[in-house]
Amino acid sequence: MPEDAKQKYRWREQRDAAAFLALEDGTVYRGLSVGAARDAVGEVVFNTGMTGYQEILSDPSYNGQFVAMTYPEIGNTGCNTADMESRGLFAGGFIVHALNPASNWRAEQELGAALDAAGIPALAGVDTRALTLRLRERGTLKGCLAVTGTLTEEAAAARAREWEGLDGQDYVSRVSVAEPYPWDADGTLTRSWGIADQLPPADLRVVAYDFGIKWNILRGLRRNGIDVTVVPARMPAAEVLAMRPDGVFLSNGPADPAGVPYAVRAVRELLGQVPVMGICLGHQLMALALGARTYRLKFGHHGCNHPVQECATGKVEITSQNHNFGVAQDTLDPAAVEITHINLNDRTVEGIRHRRHPAFAVQYHPEAGPGPHDPYYLFARFRELIETR
């Protein structure tokens, strides 16, 4: 093997490196540090996507979490500007089995270099199959990525146990923008995807709450003739309504929906005043605003292959998902709320619609990025809701 290839695959020869992941239950997984030289604590989840790691890392919903990829070969496509889903990489840490060198013509940077530059610790050479089975058996666990060589296994596991975790915590404020802004005012991000010539006139105006919003959501709205202004998560409903939007969008975001009561309050005040669409965290916030309850799933839904059925038609969509909390079905008021979508793996609630107000939400990600385009029609459905209103 050439010397440069040995360097790129150096993790294969250094499985006894000092870097490791320690879970709160004391389980340890060793590997080689391939990201930032920084110890960190976070919630460990697994993602079943075969690719799309750059979109995953730049999804603000993963803030505070260590993402373990179940697919064994990661890094082949490198990283590039066009595939970013936000203004930076937000995941708390990254764990892979094989970190491969980039071999794609679109690559602008090696994955390891991107992680290092973003300050994200990462491990390669990990037995991710064993880690995934552990998380499926025990449920989501807190962990400590120890990559500096300064922590013992026992100290790292203790640090994981002592961490407050994500439950009840407001991670939305950590990822949301500070000031409102018009989406892609100069067209740079639209052109980077080669869709500038395919856009209809923007004849509707929507305000999108940034709880951790992804750029492909904004592209999806713009492709349906909607001009979008993105606003901070803490903007009061009265200020949003003063902008006289045709509709309001509630974005995805990280952590526990119960940790952002100010967002629940804003959604409650918006319902019935203006058409509303929500996804992921936005779906949970709408449910909370309607008096329902959310709860923690055992190990969450993270990946690009989750089957969801639309109740009215029986149609099945393959969806992209990323959430650790769900809406408790028995707490939804059937007189006010219709359940529109169900997860076919575990029968959890995947979509709701208000029976009187123009409002609906889904738990999954219709914008893909990464993932299938089966649910992309939901952006058009939002437009139809606004036009009907």
Tens digit of each residue's pLDDT (9 = 90 or more) over 15-64: 345 799 999 999 999 999 999 999 999 999 999 999 899 999 999 999 99
Which is catalytic among the residues 301, 306, 323, 365? 365
Q: What predicted TM-score, i.e. pTM, was given to this entire model? A: 0.94
Tokens 């992804």 found at: 214
Task: Determine the pLDDT at residue 180.
Answer: 98
Residue 196 banded pLDDT, cuts 50, 70, 90: confident
Handedness of CA 77, 80, 86, 92 (dihedral sign): positive
Question: What whole-number percentage of the chain has pLDDT above 90?
Answer: 88
Helix axes 377-388, 215-223, angle to 10 degrees: 60
Q: 365 catalytic, yes or no?
A: yes
pLDDT of the residue at 46: 98
Average of per-residue pLDDT across 146-169:
97
Residue 247 has a pLDDT of 98
**Arithmetic mean of pLDDT, 84-113:** 96
Average pLDDT over residues 243-249: 98
Q: Which residue has the tokens 């629940």?
A: 264
Quick: pLDDT tens for 287-300: 999 999 999 999 99
Domain boundaries, the chain: 3-162, 172-388
pLDDT band at 130; cut points 50, 70, 90: very high
For residues 91-99, give the mean pLDDT: 98
Summary mean pLDDT of the chain? 94
86, 216 contact by CB (below 8 A): no
Looking at 280, 301, 302, 350, which residue is catalytic?
280
pLDDT exceeds 80 at position 148: yes
pLDDT of residue 101: 96
Q: What does the pLDDT read at residue 26? A: 97
Strand order in the sheet with 93-95: 28-30, 20-23, 141-146, 40-47, 65-69, 93-95, 122-124, 32-33
* 361-378: average pLDDT: 91
Q: Specify the CATH superfamily of domain 172-388.
A: Class I glutamine amidotransferase (GATase) domain (3.40.50.880)
Kindly give, in sequence order, each residue whose CB lies less than 8 Å from that of residue 49, ignoring residues fewer than 6 positions away.
56, 69, 71, 303, 304, 305, 320, 370, 371
Angle between helices 261-270 and 281-289 (to 10 degrees): 70
Structure-block tokens of residue 185: 């005012």
Q: How many H-runs (helices) and E-runs (strands) does the chain carry?
A: 12, 20
- Pinpoint the alpha helices (H) of 163-293: 172-175, 188-192, 215-223, 237-242, 261-270, 281-289
Sign of CA dihedral 24, 30, 35, 37: positive
Could you confirm whether 350 is annotated as catalytic?
Answer: no
pLDDT number for residue 17:
54
* Whether residue 341 lies in the annotated active site: no
Task: Give the fold, CATH level 3, of 3-162.
Answer: Glucose Oxidase; domain 1 (3.50.30)
Alpha carbon distance 281, 164 (integer Å)? 21
Is the CB of residue 98 less than 8 Å from the CB of residue 124?
yes
Residue 171's SS3 state is coil
Beta bridge partners of 69: 47
**H-type alpha helices, 118-233:** 128-138, 153-162, 172-175, 188-192, 215-223
Which helix (H) or strand (E) is 99 found in, with range? strand 98-99
